[in-house]
Chains A and B, each alone.
Chain A
């Protein structure tokens, strides 16, 4: 049976949601920033993109390119809500749905297309449902093809609100007009390396000898590039229930201004550890490698420590990270902090502690988690954070969190 994949992609997602919420923003250049006072554009509307504003542009650059740009703080709760609704709509047309990112979904409709009159009909129904149930200002581009690589390229060829099908007949034409950045898997560095070799189009790779390609890109990437140039991809749809367990849990945060006081810095570390450790406990996992990233401008320190015993106790993890922070003797201000826990193991596979104080801590943490799930994050929190302004969870690292959410059923931790 011929495989048929549909890729659905929201256009300028965060900015479109803001324009949907506020009709006065429609048709105007909009830049979404993470919060009031932040300096980076995390999403730009089509009107802003047309004037050169890109995701990742600084507010300063954006205002130079587009002085009338309207800046709106992100509202991740509403984006998360739309993503869940979007995912549910896609499930009407296939049981094999992969949430590729917050605003992108792959559907394998090979077995369901006939029920709806074909893949093209499903694409039109999806567009109609999304417009009716989510809003008229939330356009999606849809691509149809025999695999994920071509379906994603197809949805990217006509934006916004496009519908493109790549078949064996138009495959070479579509691959021929694709930019490298439109090919899933070709990142900026790989693109630059290809351009340095004089390769400016994907189809040119067909004419490069196997030997030369392998010498330039190594055995893995030479094979991948060869497959890409022919539009081949055999990667399967990975529905959420098949996602692998997380290998690490992390949380990073960029501060509004540099902070210098050791106590203040450690309070932020504790705050981030609380969130990472809560995710671990809800996923019924523990880790034994603990890492810390401290950054300010160009200066950066990454340190980690590996222990013999696993833990998900935020206090233990914090104490490890506190020692790491003190050991680096950071003398400047701090603008960015990140924590992670890796070398994870499932709690079911770990021996229970014989020490009563450890078990007492686990009971306390279990009650704390239940209270926070019922009444909201940080209803109960460590006293070290009493004087700090709490950093709450947000929809970042969405897929990583999704993997954890699968472990905890319907409990939402984002």
Chain B
């Protein structure tokens, strides 16, 4: 099940060759080390650009959002269980 979080988080990321790769983030006073970035995509809202990352850490999927204009990282959602059951 996907749980919307939408909270700012502190992220350690590597900026290399024009790419961004989140490595570690802190959420609820817990340091979470990212094991792999499974996907990255970009969205815009008006002239603001966002980078979305789905990352895996300790068998959990997190979606991190980086606002390129304000340089703020957010934890958007956590996948606590695979898939979403509807109806």
Contact = CB atoms under 8 A, between A and B. Distances in A.
B60 to A, nearest CB: 9
Given A21-B54, A23-B38, A28 B82 contact: yes
B44 A72 contact: no
B46 A372 contact: yes
Contacts of A38: 86
Contact of B39 (A24, A33, A135): A135
A406 B51 CA distance: 25
Interface residues of B, number: 22
Contact of B82 (A22, A78, A412): A22
B38 A70 contact: no
B87 A37 contact: yes
Interface in A120-169: 135
A33 B86 CA distance: 10
Interface string B50-76: 001010100001000000000000000
B84 A72 contact: yes
Residue of B41, B45, B52 most packed against chain A (CB within 10 A): B41
A412 B44 CA distance: 9
Interface in A328-384: 372-376, 379
A73 interface: yes
Contacts of B86: 33, 36-38, 59, 71
A375 B87 contact: no
Nearest to B45: A376
Contact of B41 (A71, A82, A373): A82
Contact of B79 (A22, A78, A376): A22
Given A22-B38, A28-B82, A39 B87 contact: yes
B28 interface: no
A73 B84 contact: yes
A25 interface: yes
A135 B38 CA distance: 8
A221 to B, nearest CB: 41
B85 interface: yes
Nearest to B50: A77
B54 A25 contact: no
Nearest to B59: A24
B18 interface: no
A22 B56 CA distance: 9
Contacts of B16: none
Contacts of B82: 22, 24-25, 28, 70
B83 A78 contact: no
Contacts of A20: 38-39
Nearest to A78: B41
B41 A77 contact: yes
Contact of A81 (B38, B43, B47): B43
Contact of B84 (A28, A70, A77, A376): A70
Interface in B1-56: 36, 38-39, 41-48, 52, 54, 56
Contact of B85 (A23, A24, A71, A78): A71
Interface string A64-105: 000000111100011001100000000000000000000000
Give me the 9 closest cross-chain CB pairs, A-B, nearest first: A70-B83, A376-B46, A375-B46, A376-B45, A81-B41, A24-B82, A21-B39, A78-B41, A77-B43
Interface of A: 17, 20-25, 28, 30, 33, 36-39, 59-60, 70-73, 77-78, 81-82, 135, 372-376, 379, 412
Given A21-B54, A375-B46, 10 more contacts: A22-B54, A22-B79, A23-B61, A24-B82, A36-B84, A72-B84, A81-B43, A135-B39, A372-B46, A373-B47
17 contacts: A20-B39, A21-B54, A22-B54, A22-B61, A24-B61, A28-B82, A36-B86, A37-B86, A37-B87, A38-B86, A59-B86, A59-B87, A70-B83, A73-B84, A78-B41, A82-B41, A372-B46
